[in-house]
Structure 1
Amino acid sequence: MALIAPSFDDYATKYETIRLERDEAGVLEVTLHSDGKSLVWTPQVHDELAYCFTDISCDAENRAVVLTGVGDAFCSEIDFTKFSLGTAKDWSQIIFEGQRLLRNLMDIEVPVIAAINGPATVHPEIPVLSDVTIAATTTVFADSPHFANGIVPGDGAHVCWMHVLGPQRGRYFLLTEQTLDAQQALEFGVVNEVLPPEQVLPRAREIAARIAAKPPLGARYSRVVLTREIKRLIHEQQALGLTHEALAALSL
């Protein structure tokens, strides 16, 4: 029997922290939230995103993806009380899911447009790794959970920021706990456009609609070739980063 790829109905309401809506043109809107408010990072979010990105990547009816958040922030809070980080077994699961999260995101074979609706200081690499990044004027970027707490920024932050900012700026950003405002992010090439908050999502939808109107394989395979280098870096470096992150965390 032939394997059957998931249809949108199979996963549209599957996830508690991810709202999924798709229009007739095939533009899939992925909205991250916590009970309808701005996303708070938890183990549930960590795991749901990995599996959701797989569902999205396997659905050939998706023609473009818009990734956004709810409220005033994309994700600026983390609930450490829900994480178990004290044993090698705990970290084994985090390492497994952490690798799947970014790899599955990059396995989406249609262009991804990020509509960054506000501060992204917890796992900002997720929207930053999009093909097109539209940020609100209220957006700031930082890697708040890691080095500030004595933990190696190894679950993708080290790959993303060294790639996007370059080695000198990337190391500075991570080691000094730097915060980039929207204008700095634009000047450094982290985002493509900065707009008032109310214009961010409409602009992302506009770009996504234009991409979705292209011949399907042209758009799909453009994403494949344009993300090849960052996928190679993630494949080569993420496991090493996560392992060192675990060692540093277990020593605290």
Structure 2
Amino acid sequence: MPHVLIETEDHGVVTIRLNDPATRNAISDLPMVDAILDAVLDADRSPDCRVIILTGVGTAFSSGGNIKTLRKGGALQDELPAQTRLNYKRGIQRLPLAFESLEVPVIAAVNGPAIGAGCDLTLMCDVRIAAESAEFAESFVRLGIIPGDGGAWLLPRVVGFSMACEMALTGDNIDAAEAKRIGLVSRVVPDDQLMDTAREVARRIAVNPRHAVRMTKRILREAGCLSLGQALDLSAAYQALAHETGDHAEAIGAMIEKRTPKFTGR
């Protein structure tokens, strides 16, 4: 059984489904990490892909770590601590680095609990839409461990330092409504409307010029780690590229001529 299911839809939307319902889509084991990386990187390399939707098969988005492999001698925790460090670097820690490098926007359609590393996986995405049944928890502390997959870096940037501390230090679950209140997700919808809503948002992104969308995502990602001056310099460089695209000329022409633009990705 494949660890992820991939579906290419109209408008350049690629849906990737975590497909290990027996573990509630745990993502800590190497085969799942490899499958996710292959899927998102292949989509990002494709000029036809405009948006990725990431969701889970079954009733959970992702339970995070596979508890069985967190025991000493498991896939992550080696007898030698120095090897455990390498297991994290060569395993699950590749995910946040890969997601940070993506140019294509990623929408997390959170169809159920997103716990621990599963919560952090949603944070790696650009847009988060939750079903009413979704729950979130930065629950590592309850297992006597720390966020080992980048959550301590990601969470404060999404919900702010104080709320990130509350979530990470208590390990408490929050429901979808609270996730929206604190800005963890942008919207909450009934469970049976989740994928339709995610696709609708994806298509609204996908109709825009491909290069402009990708460069806009990159500047949004980079800006959080740059000074204002550095961000302006990068914006000027990207804008120079955008001005020379055929889609920019088409957008201006269509607006002047009051017609629907026909973008080609050039």
Shorter-chain TM-score bucket reads 0.7 to 0.9
**230 and 120 in structure 1: CA distance in 2 versus 1, 3 angstrom threshold:** farther
Amino acid at match of 1:198: D
Task: Report the counterpart of residue 143 of structure 1 in structure 2.
Answer: 138
For residues 176-215 of structure 1, what are the structure 2 equivalents within 5 Å? 176-215=170-209
Question: 1-side partners of 2:195 and 2:23: how far apart?
Answer: 16
**77 and 94 in structure 1: CA distance in 2 versus 1, 3 angstrom threshold:** closer
Q: Which moved more, 1:177-186 or 1:46-55?
A: 46-55
What CA deviation, in whole Å up to 9, does each residue of 1:40-86 have, x standing for no partner? 33412233323433322222221111111112110126433232402
For residues 1-252 of structure 1, what are the structure 2 equivalents within 5 Å? 16-34=2-20, 38-43=24-29, 44-76=31-63, 78-82=65-69, 83-86=75-78, 87=80, 88-123=82-117, 124-144=119-139, 146-229=140-223
Question: 1-side partners of 2:49 and 2:154: how far apart?
Answer: 25
Q: What TM-score do the two structures reach when normalised by structure 2?
A: 0.75
Q: Which moved more, 1:118-127 or 1:88-97?
A: 88-97
What CA deviation, in whole Å up to 9, does each residue of 1:129-174 have, x standing for no partner? 3222110111110023x21122121321101111112111111110
Shift of 1:231: 7.0
Higher relative contact order (CA 8 A, sep 6+): 1
Structure 2 residue runs of 5 or longer lacking an equivalent are: 70-74, 227-266
**229 and 149 in structure 1: CA distance in 2 versus 1, 3 angstrom threshold:** farther
Query: How many aligned residue pairs are there?
Result: 217
Question: 1-side partners of 2:193 and 2:128: how far apart?
Answer: 13
Determine which structure has more spread, i.e. the larger CA radius of gyration. Answer: 2
Shift of 1:35: 5.9
The question of whether the paired residues in 2 share the 8 Å contact of 1:38 and 1:74 is answered with: yes
Task: Report the counterpart of residue 262 of structure 2 in structure 1.
Answer: none
**97 and 76 in structure 1: CA distance in 2 versus 1, 3 angstrom threshold:** closer
**152 and 74 in structure 1: CA distance in 2 versus 1, 3 angstrom threshold:** same
Secondary structure of residue in 2 paired with 1:89: helix
Secondary structure of residue in 1 paired with 2:183: coil
Question: 1-side partners of 2:121 and 2:150: how far apart?
Answer: 9
**137 and 96 in structure 1: CA distance in 2 versus 1, 3 angstrom threshold:** same
Q: Which moved more, 1:31-40 or 1:178-187?
A: 31-40
Q: What TM-score do the two structures reach when normalised by structure 1?
A: 0.78
